[in-house]
Amino acid sequence: MKVLVVGNGGREHAIAWKLSQSELSPELYVARGNAGIWEIAKPVDISPTDVKALADFAEKNGIDFTVVGPEAPLVAGIVDEFEKRGLRIFGPPKKGALLEGSKAFAKAFMKKYDIPTAEYRVFSDFSEAKEYVEKKGAPIVVKADGLAAGKGAVVCETTQKAIETLDKFLNERVFGDACEKVVVEEFLEGEEASYIVMINGDKYVPLPTSQDHKRLLDGDRGPNTGGMGAYSPTPVITPQIEKRIKEEIIERLIYGLKEEGIPYRGFLYVGLMITKEGPKVLEFNVRLGDPEAQPILMRIENDFLKLLLDFYEGKNVKLKESERWALDVVLASRGYPQKPETGKIIHGLDIVKELKDVIVFHAGTKKEGKFIVSSGGRVLNVCAYGDTLKEAKQKAYDAIRYICFEGMHYRKDIGDKAFKYLGE
C-alpha cells in the first residue's frame, strides 16, 4: 500500500515513523519532508500547499492513502481536491479547516454552540479596536484572524503594546490579508494543555493528552513560538477535567459541525487554558500539534496506519496508550522565531541514534553532500521515553549533549511544569 505524508516538520517525521512500523508495510512518500523523513519515505518535490499538483501525483502514482500534517494545505482545500478525485485522505475539508484558518469564524462558532472560551470582539477598523482596548485595559490578547505561522497571537501586558500590535496588524498589515481582521480577547489565567482527538462525523477518539511550551525561553518568557517542547501525558488534564473537555467542548463542537453541515474527518487539536472556572478554548487547530504529535505518537501502541484506515472507514477503534511517558525537546536555530539562521552543519546524530529510548525527529533539516544541515527555525526534536516523566526528561537532555550545530539553543525546563502536579 502506498501512503503519502504531506508536510516538512517534526510532526510529519513522527507520523511517517509511526506509519512505517505498520504490519501493512506501506511504501511511504513525503512532500516535501526533511533529511530525517527521507530516511524512511521517498521524497516528492511538490510544495505541501500545491494541492492540485499533489492530487495529480497521488492519482498518477496510485497513492492509496494520504495523511496531512500542517494546516496550510487543509485551509487551501487539499481534502476537497483529493476527495473530488476519489482519493482517500485524512483531514477536514476546507470548510472545517476554517476553525483554524479564521479565528473570527472559530470564536463565532464557539459562541453559537456554547463552547467555553475567552470573551472577545472582532475588528477591522483600527480606531474602533483601539477604543475597545483602552476601555478594557491590559492584559489583553490581540490575534490576527488568519494563518500567521504561529506568530499571530500576541499577549499584551500593557494597553500601549496592544495598540502597537493593532497598528502592526490592521494598518501595517504585517501578515497581509491574514490580519485584515483581528480578534481582541480577554486574557485567561491558568495552565495550558493540549487535547487532540480524531473525528469522523459523530465519532471521536481522544489521543493521549499533552502539554506544549510555547514561549521561547525558560520559565515561559520571551516571544511565542510554534512550540519549544512537549510531553505526554499531562497531569494538568485530570480525569474530571477531561470529562468536562469532552462534554463542554468536543461534543458541542461535533454537534455544531453537524448543524453547520461540515463533514469533519481528521485530527482536531484543542488548545486549552485550564482556568479556575474550568477548561476554556484558546484555539482550535485542524491537525496534530507540533511538537505535541511527537510524544503523543510515541505513546500510541496501535498499528497507527491500521487505526487510521479503520477510523477513516467509520469503524469503531480502540486506542492503546502506553504506560510510559514521552518528552520532546526542540533544538532551535539562533534567531528563531524572528529570523532563524540556517545552513549550519549538525553533528552528533549518529551517536544519538544508538541510544536506548531516544528518538530524534527532524524538523528543519536538509542534506548537503554528506552532511545534514539546518534549514529552518526548529531544527530537531530530541525525544525520549521514561517510566517516569523525570526519567524521560533526563534521557532527552542527556542525549542533547551529543548534538550540536552553530547557534543551537533550547529550553532547559521542558516538563518542569508537570512536577508540581505530580508532587515531585
Cell output for 47:
510544495
CA–CA separation, 252 vs 372, rounded Å? Answer: 46
The reply on whether position 328 binds ligand GLY by CB under 6 A is no
The reply on whether position 224 binds ligand AMP by CB under 6 A is yes
User: Given candidates 41, 118, 250, 414, which one binds ligand AMP under the rule CB under 6 A?
Assistant: 118
Least Cβ distance, residue 226 to ligand GLY (angstroms): 6
Place of cell 512536577: 419
- Angstrom distances, CA of residue 56 to CA of 7, 12, 16, 79: 17, 21, 21, 13
- Angstrom distances, CA of residue 367 to CA of 35, 362, 370: 6, 12, 7
Please give the backbone phi and psi of residue 411, each rounded to the nearest 5 degrees, phi first. Answer: -80, 145
Residue 227 binds which entry of ligand AMP, ligand GLY, none, CB below 5-8 Å type-dependent: ligand GLY
The reply on whether position 212 binds ligand GLY by CB under 6 A is yes
The reply on whether position 192 binds ligand GLY by CB under 6 A is no
> Which lies closer to ligand AMP via its Cβ, residue 51 or residue 153?
153
**Sole window of 71-79, 179-187, 380-388, 390-398 interacting with ligand AMP (rule: CB under 6 A):** 179-187
> Which lies closer to ligand GLY via its Cβ, residue 81 or residue 290?
290
The reply on whether position 294 binds ligand GLY by CB under 6 A is no
For 12, the 3-state DSSP assignment is helix
For 109, the 3-state DSSP assignment is helix
User: Given candidates 34, 66, 102, 285, which one binds ligand GLY under the rule CB under 6 A?
Assistant: 285
Least Cβ distance, residue 7 to ligand AMP (angstroms): 19
Residue 290 binds which entry of ligand AMP, ligand GLY, none, CB below 5-8 Å type-dependent: ligand GLY
The reply on whether position 289 binds ligand GLY by CB under 6 A is yes
The reply on whether position 188 binds ligand AMP by CB under 6 A is yes
For 151, the 3-state DSSP assignment is coil
Residue 285 binds which entry of ligand GLY, ligand AMP, none, CB below 5-8 Å type-dependent: ligand GLY
With beta carbons less than 8 A apart as the criterion, state whether 344 and 374 touch.
Answer: yes
Least Cβ distance, residue 292 to ligand AMP (angstroms): 12
The reply on whether position 187 binds ligand AMP by CB under 6 A is yes
Least Cβ distance, residue 409 to ligand AMP (angstroms): 20
Convert residues 15-34 into a mask of x (bound to ligand GLY by CB under 6 A) and - (unbound): --------------------
For 49, the 3-state DSSP assignment is coil
User: What single string gives the DSSP state of each residue in 346-396?
Assistant: PB-HHHHHTSTTEEEEESSEEEETTEEEE-SSEEEEEEEEESSHHHHHHHH
Neighbours of 327 (CB within 10 A): 30
Please give the backbone phi and psi of residue 172, each rounded to the nearest 5 degrees, phi first. Answer: -75, -25
- Angstrom distances, CA of residue 316 to CA of 205, 226, 245, 296, 309: 9, 33, 21, 20, 11
> Which lies closer to ligand AMP via its Cβ, residue 224 or residue 394?
224
Residues at the contact surface with ligand GLY, assessed by CB under 6 A = 150, 212, 226-227, 285, 289-292
Residues at the contact surface with ligand AMP, assessed by CB under 6 A = 118, 141, 143, 153, 155, 185-188, 192, 214, 224, 271, 282-283
